[in-house]
Amino acid sequence: MRKVAVVGYGNTPFKRRHIEKTYPRLAYEAVKEAFDSTGIRPERVDSVIYGIYSDPFNHNMMPDLHIHYQLGLARKPSTRVSAGGATGGIAVRSAFMEIASGMKDIVLVVGVEKYGDLSNVFEMIKALTFGGDQLFEQMAGVSPAGSYSAPVILHMLKYGTTEENLALVSVKNHANAMRNPDAQAPMEITVEEVLSSPMIIYPYKLLDHCLNSEGACALLLADEESARRLTDNPVWIKGIGCSTESGRQAERDNVGESLLPAVEAAAREAYAMAGVKDPVRDIQVAEVYDSFSGIEILLYEELGFCARGEGAACLEEGSYSMGGELPVNPSGGLIGGEHAVGATGVYQVAEIARQLQGEAGERQVKGAERGLALSLGGARGAYASATVLEVQDNG
């Protein structure tokens, strides 16, 4: 298997609404920035993987096709990935495989999403329910939020995790977003303000929820020879893991202590491939899928950042804050930064690349040499994608 590097990236700012731009325009702006950062032009691109989650969101069933030609990429391959919130992570994996296999040398990944043309939030949530089991969940009006509540309620009952603990994730991630000029929701808020925001679905208040965003992110991946030619500072993709669980919310087999078993499996695969033995020692920065505040606490444990049941205590001690032993979501994550669904997993990888190159500005984690991007999709993390990146080979 050939080595694969991130050699360039670009993204739009993330906003609740980019009403002045169509989704092909958002994609173009991210791609142009990625091209400009490397000097690559469209003719150098061998293949493109698009991460675009939802047909009802984007009001199109083949959105990749309508972007691709306008990027000047006619007659080059276009592949679209759609895997809920893990869309972007799995798009990166598909691009990785095209290069690692020796099939292609330079592959572009484009994550983009536009949800706000739907007339209102009820239409948006209805569109989300279309991902549920056709006969037994869609027709019950079951939304993904409920599936991300249940495991957190189980965690609260088992380990004594509190609504205040959950709120602290929101406080941290909104504060981190203050140092990210592309973030949608930079805010200095308190635990009390989170707790007093409207209850949406127990135990989540409005400020415990991820954002709904529009925006795009592009990544350029290359084989080793091309990467060395294109940049002095490549970031290597050292491990990729991908896993799934039942798409039905309640069905889970042989999970043991794990509340998000696909995450544990995807991380195990990525860690083994990258040689990560002790995540806290071996990883210095992580961008993870905080679709809801409580999910981030579960992820600390599933990813091996701490022991089962200790996630909330480690959070309170500041382990995952900027300046802590393993800062999580310096970008602001999905709660403070963005959640333009198809773009999210791509943007997580771009953020880690920025961190490892020392290009993360005010949100820089000093000395980070290895980082993790983790995204989830479907009900209760039914898709999981984990990517380990590092710069240690660059000496």
Partner 1 sequence: MAEKDLRKGPGRWSDEGGVFILPDEWRLSYMVSCGELSPFFRALKEEGKLMGTRCPSCDSIYCPPRSWCHDCYEDTEWVEMSGKGELIAFTKGYFATSDLVDEVPFYQGGVRLEGARYPIVCRIKLDDEKNLRPGIPMRVEFKPPEERLGRVTDYYFVLDG
Contact (Cβ atoms closer than 8 angstroms) between residue 363 and residue 331: yes
> Rule CB under 8 A: is residue 291 a binding residue for partner 1?
no
Backbone angles phi, psi at 224, to 5 degrees: -60, -45
Residues ≥6 apart with Cβ < 8 Å to 395: none
In the list 75, 135, 188, 367, the residue contacting partner 1 (rule: CB under 8 A) is 135
Query: What's the closest the beta carbon of residue 105 comes to partner 1, in angstroms?
Result: 39
Give the whole-angstrom CA distance, residue 22 versus residue 113. Answer: 10
Q: Which residues contact 120 (CB under 8 A, 6 or more apart)?
A: none
Of 189 and 200, which CB lies nearer to partner 1 in the complex structure? Answer: 200
Give the nearest distance from C-beta 307 to partner 1 in angstroms. Answer: 22
Considering only 33, 46, 133, 224, the residue that binds partner 1 (CB under 8 A) is 133
Residue from the set 2, 17, 281, 366 that interacts with partner 1 by CB under 8 A: 17
What does the alpha-carbon distance between residue 166 and residue 16 come to, in Å, rounded to a whole number? Answer: 23
CB of 342 to partner 1, least distance (A): 19
Instruction: Report the residue number, 116 or 371, with the smaller CB distance to partner 1.
Output: 116
Backbone conformation region of residue 154, classed left if phi is above 0, alpha if psi is from -120 to 50, else beta = alpha
Out of 164, 251, 257, 359, point to the residue binding partner 1 (CB under 8 A): 251
Task: Identify which range of 144-152, 171-179, 226-234, 277-285 contacts partner 1 by CB under 8 A.
Answer: 144-152
- Please list every residue from 46 through 65 that binds partner 1, using CB under 8 A: 56, 59
Closer to partner 1 by Cβ: residue 89 or 116: 116
**214 strand-pairing partners:** 15
Q: Which stretch binds partner 1 (CB under 8 A): 39-47, 107-115, 170-178, 200-208?
A: 200-208
Distance CA 339, CA 333 (A): 8
Of 131 and 330, which has the nearer Cβ to partner 1? 131
Beta bridge partners of 235: 6
Is residue 119 a contact point for partner 1 (CB under 8 A)? yes
Scanning the structure block, which residue is given the tokens 């592949």?
A: 79
Nearer to partner 1, 144 or 332 (CB): 144
Considering only the C-alpha atoms of the chain, give the largest distance between any 2 of them, rounded to a whole number of Å. Answer: 57
Closest CA to 347 of 51, 128, 24, 41: 51
d(CA 274, CA 276) in angstroms, rounded, equals 6
* Contact residue for partner 1 among 78, 149, 329, 331 (CB under 8 A): 149
Residue 122 touching partner 1 (CB under 8 A): yes
User: Of 39, 72, 102, 141, which lies in the binding site for partner 1, with binding defined by CB under 8 A?
Assistant: 141
Tell whether residue 316 is a contact of partner 1 (CB under 8 A): no
Segment interacting with partner 1 (CB under 8 A) among 87-95, 136-144, 287-295, 352-360: 136-144
User: Counting contacts by CB under 8 A, is residue 120 touching partner 1?
Assistant: yes
Structure tokens at 150: 């249940």
Which structure tokens are listed for 337?
């930064």
Q: Is 119 exposed, middle or buried (0-12, 13-18, 19+ CB in 10 A)?
A: exposed
Q: How far apart are CA 49 and CA 381, in angstroms?
A: 22
Q: Rank residues 119 and 229 by Cβ distance to partner 1 and give the closer one.
A: 119
Please tell me the count of residues contacting partner 1 according to CB under 8 A. 40
- Mode of pairing for the β-strands spanning 215-223 and 106-113: antiparallel
Residue with tokens 């999210």: 344
- Asked whether 295 and 263 are in contact (CB, 8 A), the reply is no
Q: Which of 25, 66, 179, 248 binds partner 1 (CB under 8 A)?
A: 248
Measured from the CB atom, the residue of 135 and 188 that comes closer to partner 1 is 135
Which residues contact partner 1 by CB under 8 A? 17, 19-20, 56, 59, 119-120, 122, 125-126, 129, 133-137, 139-143, 145-146, 149-151, 153-154, 157, 198-202, 246, 248-252
